[in-house]
Structure formats: C-alpha cells, structure tokens
Amino acid sequence: MSKTTSRRYDVVSAARNYTNGHTNGSAKKPTMDEIFGSHTFSMDEMRKRLPKEVFQSLVATIQQGKPIDAGVADIVALAMKEWAVENGATHFTHWFQPLTGSTAEKHDSFITPNSGGGAMSRFSGKELIQGEPDASSFPSGGIRATFEARGYTAWDPSSPAFIMKNPMGATLCIPTAFASWTGEALDHKIPLLRSMEAVNKQALRALKLFDVHATQVYSTVGAEQEYFLIDEEFAYNRPDLLTTGRTLFGAQPARGQELEDHYFGSIPDRVLAYMTDVEEQLYKLGVPVKTRHNEVAPAQYEIAPIFENTNIAADHQQLTMQVLQTTARKYGLYCILHEKPFAGVNGSGKHTNWSLSTNTGINLLEPGDTPHDNMQFLFFCAAVIKAVDKHQDLLRLSIATPANDHRLGANEAPPAIISIFMGEQLEKIFMQLVKGKAKKSEFKGLLGLGSPVLPPLPLHTGDRNRTSPFAFTGNKFEFRAVGSSQSISFPLVVLNTIAAESIDELTTDVEKLMKQKKSLEEALQEVLKDVVSKHKRIIFGGDGYSDDWKTEAKKRGLYIKNTALEALEAFHTKKNPALFAKYAVLNEREWFAREEIMFDIYFKTINIEGEATASIAQRMVLPAAIRYVKDLASTVESVKAVGVKSSGIMKTLKEASELVDSLTVALDKLVAINADLGGDTLHSKAKHMRDKVIPAMNNVRVYADKLEKLVPDDFWSLPTYQEMLFVK
Ligand code: ADP
Ligand code: MG
C-alpha cells in the first residue's frame, strides 16, 4: 500500500470512530426562562441597572430613534461595562457588518492606563458611541481612498449588546454601524436602517387612509438557514472545501438523494447534540430559534428562528451563521454554509420571510378570514405585487452571487426568474378585482385527516408551492431565492425600499381620487384594479422548475437573467440609483460602491476557485492517476514476460493514460486562462472569469471525476462524496 492509501482510510476511520465527549443530556438543564437572553444587555437588564430617567431616555432612542445625549451614553456605558464584567468579559468590541457579507470585530480591553503608571478598568460613553477601527482593508467600493482610510463605527442602541464567550473568557460585543468619515455607509446595517425608515414613513401615511393609529411600522423577518454538516476530518482533507467553501471535484456516488430518505428523517445523535448546543448558545444571545430538521440532501439541515424586527433579525442571522460554524468544531463537525457544496445534490438557501407590522402588533399582510373585504390587506398586498413586478431586476440583483449561480434555476431551487406565488384563493380575488369588485373568498374548508381521533385542521388556502422564488405563505412573503451564505441585509434593503416606493405611489393615487370626492372604498377599488391589471404578469402559480415556465415568462416579458453577472448589470439602469436616492437609502456613490464590490467579489471568488482547481488537479489527482498508469504498465510487462495475453490490462492502461493526457491538457489551459486576468477593468475581469475560467475549471473536473471512477480506491487521497455525505 502506498502512503496515500493509509491517509484517506485513516480519515474515514477517524470520522467513523468519533466519540462525542460532550454529554450532559441527563444533567439538569437550566430552563429556557433562565437562559434566554442571559448573554444580552436586555431591556430588563437596563431597567434594573439604569436610573429611571436614563432608562426612559434610552428607550426613546431605541423605539423612536431620538438622538442620545452624551451624559446618558456615559451612564449606559458604565452600566453595560459592569454587567459585562460580572459576566466574565475582559474586552469589548464594536461588532459590525462590512460589505464582505460577514461580521468584523476588533477587541479592546477595558484596561486604561492611569496617571500612576498602573492600569484601571474603564469604558466611557465615547467608547460606547463611537469607534475608529483601522478600516483601510474593508471593501469600500471606491468610497474611501486609502489615504483617507478612516472609518467610524457608531453604536446601534436598537440592537442589544451581547457577550460572546470563548473557552478562556468573554467579549462584550456592541452592534454598530460602519461609515466613512464623510458619513457614507460602508456596511449593511446603515442602508438597512434607512430602508426601514423609508417603509415606516410610507406605511404610516397609508395607514392614515384606513384610520389605523400606529406610530411605527417596521418590517419583520424570519430567515430559515440551510446548511451542511460533515465530519471535520473530511473537510481538512479537502483543500477545495477549505479554500472555496465547496467541492470542486467529486464523482457522483451510486446513491445520492434519490431515495429522499433524509428529509425530515430522524436526526443522528451527534448532529442532535450539536444542534442542541447551537440552540442553547443562541438562546443566551437572545436569538429566538425555533425549528430544526433534516433537509432534502444527505447531510443537510435547517435552523429557523421566530421572526423579529428586521434590523435585529439581520444581526441575529449573522450570529446564527457564526455560532453554527464555531460550534461544529466542538463536535468534530464542519459546517458548510455555501450555496452548492456538492454537485448533484440539493444546494442550500435561506428562505427570507418578510412582512410589515405596526408597533401595535398588526401584521399588515394578515388576510383574515375574508380577504376580499379586507381592503387594507389587499392594499398592502397589491403594493408588494407592484413593487416586485416593477423591480424584478433589483430582487434578482440582490441575490446575484457566484455561489447562488449554482443553485438558482437548477431543478431544486427557485428559478432565476422572479415571480410571485399568491395561492389559489388570493389569485382569484385579485383577478376578480381586475374585472370589477372582489366578490367572494373561496370557502376555507376543513381538511379532514381521515381519523376521528385527529382534529380537523383549517385548510390554509395559501397552499405551498416550493418552486416559487417569492411566495405568499399565509401572512408574509417568503423570498426563497436568497443564498444560504449571504447576508440577508441587502435583499432586505431592496425589499423594504421597493415596498416603500410602491406604498407611497398607491397612497398618492388613492389620495388623489379622494380629493375628487370619491369614497375611500371607490378610490381603493379603482387603484387596486389598476395595479393588478398592470402587474398581474408577475403572479404565477404553476411549476417554476418546468421549461414551459421559461417560455411563458419570456412571453410575459419578465426579467430573465441566468447568471449573476448579467443580473449585476441592473446596477446601471436609470431607475435604480434614482430609487435608492429618492428614499434616502443609498446615495449614488454608495449605490455604485456596492456594484464595484459585488463585481470584485465575483471576480475573486472564481479566480480563487480556478487556482484551487489547478492545484488540486496537479498535486492530488494527477499523481494518483500517473501512479496507476505506472502500475498498469509494469503489470503489462510482467504479464507479457510469463507469456499471457492481457487485453483487459492494456485496455485499462490505455484508458487511464488517455485520461491523464486529457487532464493535463485541460489543466494547462486552465492555468493559462486563469493567469490572464481578463483585462484592466473589474467588469472585463469578471466576464473573463465567467466565460473562460469557469468552463476551463469544469473541463478539468470532467477528467478528474472520470479518473476517480477508474483509479483504484486506495490510490485516491481526496475523501469521496460517498464518505463525506454518508459517514456520520
Ligand atoms: P413554514 O414556512 O415552514 O410554514 P413558518 O410558518 O413557521 O414555517 O414560518 C417560517 C418562518 O417565517 C419563521 O422564521 C417564522 O418566524 C417566519 N414568519 C412567520 N410570520 C412572519 C411575519 N409576520 N413576518 C416575518 N416572518 C414571519
Ligand atoms: Mg419556508
């Protein structure tokens, strides 16, 4: 046996023989009440620790966005520090979300030198409110030249500070926004907050029509996170997974997900222990996670929270991704968030459920029992329909990443064409509106379960359609095309802003008609009829995976862009920068900065994948194949020496040797093409990656995967799909 042999088998056996050292399943666990939010500087904690006036002033800041004054900040800082230190924190960090899509932190200790040459523990209001990380290495999309590299972080009091524990200590994390010294947003939080304000303003205007007295409307979000878990031994032996987040090689195993026996199946013990641990940590951080289950692909799982205010939900979503990844190590697992880690089995998404709610607790997308006469519901629903139809390009753009390209439009994920699934009942109601007045709602029958023991369930008329990228599911819309590894913030910025515009326009239309002495009902009738007739092409209840839909969508004139790069062209339309500027969400510089960053990320991602493909092919695949050729060649010699005819051996030798030839040709081509970066502009480089490097990479993989099926198992050093997906 050669050395590689023992190496891969060692890996498999390490994975198989993993024993979980973390067992406290039988120990008495703290109750949910005791742990939920225990690592956050929550409202309760603030109320307990702050003087009454300070607390009230802070609440006014949190709930109504009133500016905080320096005196208050000092007192809050002191209380926050005391709380953090009592909980073991020695350091604090301004926690922010740069445009890389992940989170960033720079830790400072609470220690400050004192005049006597010693040190004391201190944390001031100034340090709480503002930080100045040396931020020159975060992407700014040209907003900030390196000579003016200063970036500021600013405390977001509306998202609770929290403590992150590590095995040796703890850090106080303060959610912050991140901006350039000129005040331009360098992060995902600032535009998200601005977009929430835009939709708040317009929705409040609209609610006046309906005589609803709320003082605030905010968007709500619950994001369902899909992910893969494999034994970490495999990951450490797959340089492709480690460097790119996905496998760049791997022949299809005899069994993939055909049997569909993983979906909702019982969860393996080790995974369950891991999930329990993840949930406990998230509870402590105040993240209300609620469901967990197996997903469709082998080794794929999902975690979903209860929905929250969008700003907090977005912070909590980042924490969820972080905790999922860091906790995996404790259980000898590796958590993969990539949209398509394994070819041939389903990829991962992040269904982003979205709605609008008043501060008095009314969900504006709740149809009630008779939606046809719930004009308020129909108004907001129609506003979303208009927004999605008018700005298909923006929604498509907000999810345009190289990783999501592997998923969208494959027969498992929403198609790359944006459309809305409304459900039969609502679709009928809207079509009635076009013809005149909405007359009746389909009767909601009872769904009998065929057994007298089981209670009849009310039949949800908004039934399920898993193939729609944007579906109405009962009392919220579910944007399903969002990728599993991306920050949900940008898609939500888009969603909030287009909703704000649409609500604005519908409200103005209704107001105009009412000025012409029409009743509210007449005005609404007329406006809704107009909106639905103009935008009904976006509503589609059929099978989004079918080819018929592609033809139909083209006929309807819908926006069809199959790849991320095509979708990113929508940054340059006239309407898009104008829209974000009008609602004060992103100014032109901020908007085009995001374009530059998305192109840059696209280019770099593929460029790195190309290099990883070349390196693995060269150092791991080719040597195994050549070794096999050598083995076969000497076998031919020996067999010939004893006078036996060996057509089978010759045939195999020929096949292996031809594949080696093809692989080397493909590899040389990839290396040359990837080294030629494709010009001077980001756009041309990105195009070069898509049009030249991706096909060259795929070509290398074709021969490598063929070799995997030919070369003896004990020569192969890369863990196989079968091992990664099925050894648990
Ligand atoms: P499913 O989509 O499987 O039916 P749920 O109805 O429980 O599951 O919802 C999925 C996600 O949608 C959860 O995260 C849930 O909290 C969230 N959700 C429910 N209602 C709303 C709402 N009004 N706004 C935003 N998200 C919501
Ligand atoms: Mg869902």
DSSP line for 396-431: HHHT--HHHHTTTTSTTS--SS--EE--HHHHHHHH
The domain in which residue 332 lies consists of: 1-30+225-348
Buried b (16+ CB within 10 A) or exposed e, 570-582: bbeeeebbebbee
Instruction: Please answer whether residues 497 and 203 qualify as being in contact, where contact means their C-beta atoms are separated by less than 8 angstroms.
Output: no
User: Do 36 and 13 fall within a single domain?
Assistant: no
The set of residues, in sequence order, having a beta carbon less than 8 Å from that of 502 and lying 6+ positions away, is: 383, 384, 386, 387, 390
Residue type at position 116: G
Structure tokens that stand for 497 in this block: 């802003």
Residues 249, 359 contacting (CB under 8 angstroms) = no
Ion ligand 2 neighbours (CB, 5 A) are 351
Are the beta carbons of 418 and 398 closer than 8 angstroms?
no
Torsion sign (Cα): 202, 506, 569, 614: positive
Residues 383 and 373 in one domain: yes
Where does residue 495 rank: exposed (0-12), middle (13-18), buried (19+ CB within 10 A)? buried
Rounded-to-integer distance, Cα 586 and Cα 190, Å? 9
Residue whose CA lies nearest to ligand 1 atom number 6: 473
For residue 473, the CA-to-ligand 1 centroid distance in Å is 8
What's this model's pTM, rounded to 2 decimal places?
0.93
- Which residues approach ligand 1 with their CB closer than 6 A? 220-222, 224, 304-307, 353-355, 363, 473, 475-476
Nearest CA to ligand 1 atom 7: 306
Q: What pLDDT shows up at residue 135?
A: 63
**pLDDT of 30:** 79
Confidence at residue 455, expressed as pLDDT on a 0 to 100 scale: 39
Measured in degrees and rounded to the nearest 5, phi and psi for residue 333 equal -115, 165
Which of 141, 164, 187 is the endpoint of a domain? 187
What's the rounded Cα separation, in Å, for the pair 219 and 495? 10
Nearby residues of 67 by Cβ (< 8 Å), 6 or more positions away: 61
Are residues 418 and 298 part of one domain? no
SS3 readout for 57-119: HHHHHHHHCCCCCHHHHHHHHHHHHHHHHHCCEEEEEEEECECCCCCECCEEECEEECCCCCE
Residue 231 pairs with which residues in a beta bridge? 333
Give the number of residues written for the chain. Answer: 728
Q: For residue 679, how far is its CA from the centre of ligand 2 (angstroms)?
A: 42
Q: Is 481 helix (H, G, I), strand (E, B) or coil?
A: coil
Q: Which amino acid is at 90?
A: T
Q: CATH no. for residue 675?
A: 1.20.120.1560
Pocket test for ligand 1, best of 217, 218, 307 (most atoms within 8 A of CB): 307
Total of domains in the chain: 4
Torsion angle, alpha carbons of 9, 10, 15, 19, to 10:
140
- How many angstroms separate the most distant Cα atoms in the chain? 106
Q: 522: number of CA atoms within 13 Å, CB side?
A: 8
Residues 473 and 526 in one domain: yes
The protein residue whose alpha carbon is closest to atom 17 in ligand 1 is: 222
Q: Cβ(352)–Cβ(493) under 8 Å?
A: no
The reply to whether 448 falls in a domain is no
Please indicate, yes or no, if residue 449 is contained in any of the structural domains.
no
Q: Where are the extended beta strands (E) located within 485-602?
A: none
Q: Is 673 found in the same domain as 542?
A: no
Rounded CA gap, 725 and 713, in Å?
17
Asked if residue 702 is part of any domain, the answer here is: yes
pLDDT beneath 70: ranges in the chain: 1-6, 20-27, 134-136, 144-149, 256-266, 369-373, 436-464
- Return the closest-CA partner of residue 492 out of 204, 225, 214, 194: 194
Same domain, 394 and 265: no
Residue 273 Cα to ligand 2 midpoint, Å, equals 24
Residues 79 and 102 in one domain: yes
Select from 219, 220, 282, 353 the residue to mutate for testing ligand 1; criterion: most ligand atoms less than 8 Å from CB. 353
We report the CATH number of the domain holding residue 284 as: 3.30.590.10
Q: Cα–Cα distance between 15 and 728 in angstroms, integer? A: 7
Whether 8 is covered by a domain: the verdict is: yes
| 9 in the same domain as 47 | no
Q: Name 619's Cβ contacts closer than 8 Å, sequence gap at least 6.
A: none
The residue among 714, 712, 707 whose CA lies nearest residue 622 is: 707
Residue 570 in domain:
no
Q: Ligand 1 center to residue 339 CA distance, Å?
A: 21
List all residues 6 or more positions away from 16 whose beta carbon is below 8 Å from its beta carbon: 727
Residue ending a domain, among 313, 332, 348, is: 348
In a domain, 562, yes or no: no
Question: Interhelix angle for 520-535 vs 489-515, to 10°?
Answer: 130
Single residue among 348, 370, 391 that ends a domain in this structure: 348
436's torsion region: left (phi>0), alpha (psi -120 to 50) or beta? left
- The answer to whether 58 touches 67, Cβ cutoff 8 Å, is no
Pair 479, 354: CB distance under 8 Å? yes
- Specify whether 421 is located in the same domain as 510: yes
Q: How far is CA 92 from CA 53, 171, 316, in A?
A: 26, 5, 18
Is 591 among the domain residues? Answer: no
Nearest CA to ligand 1 atom 4: 473
What are the start-end ranges of the H helices in 617-720?
A: 622-641, 647-675, 682-688, 694-710
Q: Are 425 and 546 members of one domain?
A: yes
pLDDT tens figures, 110-132: 877 777 777 777 788 888 888 87
List, in sequence order, the alpha helices (H) in 87-181.
Answer: 125-129
Site to substitute for ligand 1 among 316, 350, 476, most atoms within 8 A of C-beta: 476
Short-list 408, 568, 379, CA closest to 479: 408
Do the domain assignments include residue 594?
no
CATH code for the domain in which residue 97 is found: 3.10.20.70
Residues 541 and 642 in one domain: no
What are 165's strand-pairing partners? 170
Q: Are 545 and 415 in contact (CB under 8 A)?
A: yes
Residue 419 and residue 507 in one domain: yes
